[in-house]
Structure 1
Amino acid sequence: MILLSLLKGKLHRVRVTAVELEYEGSCAIASDLLAAAGILPYEQIHLYDVNNGERFSTYAIAAPAGSGVISVNGAAARRVALGDILIIAAYAQVSADEAADFQPRLVYVDGSNQIQRIGHQIPPS
């Protein structure tokens, strides 16, 4: 069986609220944002920094719901700055048959990382 890697969930343009170099690692994300994007605690995530072009992966951990927390921790903290804008993405392995009907969960936030809307298609430019 052929499996394809498709975008499963995305947090679009979230703002880094904390940078914790001495923390064990990971990225703490407000749990309401995780749920909205369908990302589980300890799931691998990819972070794309809009401000500096850095792209790296780590895993998600839950921060309090409604807090707007996006805390990049451990070694990854060296790749971002407080206030940077990130795109956080998670991917799923999907069979070729499932791919035709697969829809990602796309979460768009305001400047305080509060959910503004959730969609399933990236609008055309």
Structure 2
Amino acid sequence: MTEANLNYVGSITIDEDLMELADLLPNEKVQIVNNNNGARLETYVITGPRGSGVICLNGAAARLVQPGDNVIIIAYSMMTDEQARSYKPKVVILDAANKPAQVLGEEIHATIM
């Protein structure tokens, strides 16, 4: 988490490069899990400046994170059983500077961030 902006309507701002890498869309609903304090919340994505590394929680949810917190951003999809059996999620792991460190086709047990 690079920023928390309380004085904003809502949402999470994510670097456009990271959005594309993770297949996140503008206005897509996401769940945010804060690994530092256990908080969980839902919001929607807005596009941040490309290449900036920004991940900023906006609005009232900003009270649940601090810059430097490690968060997990989860997007869900509805699909048929058949689609779900062949679906491969995309897991993007970032380094401390919010640059892509690893892109996985699925979450591996005991993956360390």
Pair in the same fold by TM > 0.5: yes
Q: Deviations over 1:29-65 (max 9, x none)?
A: 0011111111101000100000000000000001011
For residues 108 and 5 of structure 2, what CA distance do their matches in structure 1 show? 34
Compute the RMSD of aligned alpha carbons: 0.8
Identify which of 51, 56, 79 aligns with 1:66. 51
1:108 counterpart residue number:
93
The reply to whether residue 82 of structure 1 matches residue 67 of structure 2 is yes
Q: Equivalent pairs: percent with the same residue?
A: 39
Higher strand share: 1
Aligned length: 110
Task: State the 1:118 CA deviation.
Answer: 1.1
1:2-41 to structure 2, matched below 5 A, reads 16-41=1-26
Distance 1:110 1:66 in 2: 14
User: Equivalents in 1 of 2:14, 2:67: separation in Å?
Assistant: 14
Structure 2, unaligned stretches of length 5 or more? none
Question: Which fold has the larger relative contact order, with Cα–Cα distance below 8 Å and residues 6 or more apart in sequence?
Answer: 1
Gapped regions of structure 1 (runs ≥ 5): 1-15
Offset of 1:124 from its aligned partner? 2.5
SS of residue matched to 2:86: coil
Q: Partner of 2:76: helix, strand, or coil? A: strand
